[in-house]
Homo-oligomer: A and B are copies of this chain.
């Protein structure tokens, strides 16, 4: 039994880790920390977990306790993993960080977007970007994994086959993304109130969003060259789900069928589902589930390729992908804890 701890467990990615790990046969959650809720039983805050974690309470973060774990998940605001990861790694505990602390390779860029000094630049070299579809072998050997952001997961998985195959112009990429409100976290913000966010849809952060450099970094690596990406996120009136609608310009008449390209690319991926030609994946088809469903279109046989990519932002976009990484890091079946079909309807 792999013993895990969760740092910062009161947010949505924390409870989602608990929900999924309750079905994982090889993992035992031994500690979950929260400064603000220390002493509160987990099931008092999340009654859906009654019967599953009845003895577990939030505790103050304690380095000694955490270091006794085989792995620690960070489901924390930016900067916390910087402060705590080094010590854990030194004591042999593997770290799976759901925050953005180790996602960007460029320290200056990180500091620019996150508005604070990078707290652990010495750990960056060992950090692996936890997108299994790109870095599975490195993840298997990693001590420290940076779990990708929600938008970056949906966007990269959609663009990668086209960019890798050199089929679209990297200087004209557009990602029009729509997210449910859990993307904004569990913080009590007026804009996330049901009375404000339901029955409405809006774009936000059009001038620049923190996931933009993360996506760019991934696309640049895939393409092996500069890319130009316009990324417009939107807030949709739903709890979960990301729908990324991706636009690229074909650089040449593709020799191969685009559908076949995607199917081949992801043929062996357990959590990427290339849907039949002509499909329109719905976000609800992955609600609570770790799959990314993709469809590729070429409207009117024109020059523009449209990729539709849906994930559950809390699962493949956060906690599910974190568990997929854990499974890889510990040599387990990649599906463990992640088998349940999406909840639909």
CB atoms of A275 and B47 under 8 A apart: yes
A55 within 8 A of B: no
What B residues does A207 contact at CB under 8 A? 278, 297, 299-300
A196 within 8 A of B: yes
What B residues does A239 contact at CB under 8 A? 194-195, 198-199, 345
Q: Report how far A265 CA is from B273 CA in the complex, Å.
A: 46
The 8 Å CB contact of A345, one of B182, B202, B206, B303, is B182
CB atoms of B293 and A47 under 8 A apart: yes
The 8 Å CB contact of A340, one of B18, B280, B340, is B340
Q: Which residue of B lies closest to A190 (CB)?
A: B188
The quantity of this chain's copies bound in the complex is 4
Bitwise interface map of A from 233 to 263 toward B, beta carbon under 8 Å scored 1, else 0: 0101111110101010100000000000000
> Which residues of chain A (279-313) have a CB below 8 Å from chain B?
279-289, 291, 293, 297, 299-300, 302-304, 306, 308, 310
CB atoms of B186 and A195 under 8 A apart: yes
Q: Report how far A69 CA is from B52 CA in the complex, Å.
A: 34
> Which residues of chain A (293-345) have a CB below 8 Å from chain B?
293, 297, 299-300, 302-304, 306, 308, 310, 339-345
Q: Which residue of B lies closest to A179 (CB)?
A: B201
Can you list 25 A-B pairs with a CB-CB distance of less than 8 A? A19-B344, A22-B340, A47-B275, A47-B279, A48-B285, A48-B341, A50-B293, A194-B196, A194-B239, A196-B345, A199-B287, A200-B283, A200-B285, A200-B287, A201-B282, A202-B281, A203-B245, A207-B300, A230-B247, A230-B299, A230-B304, A236-B236, A237-B238, A288-B288, A288-B343
Q: Known contacts A186-B193, A194-B197; can you find 17 more A-B pairs with CB under 8 A?
A: A22-B339, A47-B293, A48-B342, A50-B291, A174-B304, A178-B236, A193-B193, A199-B287, A202-B280, A206-B299, A206-B306, A230-B304, A232-B299, A234-B243, A288-B343, A340-B340, A343-B343
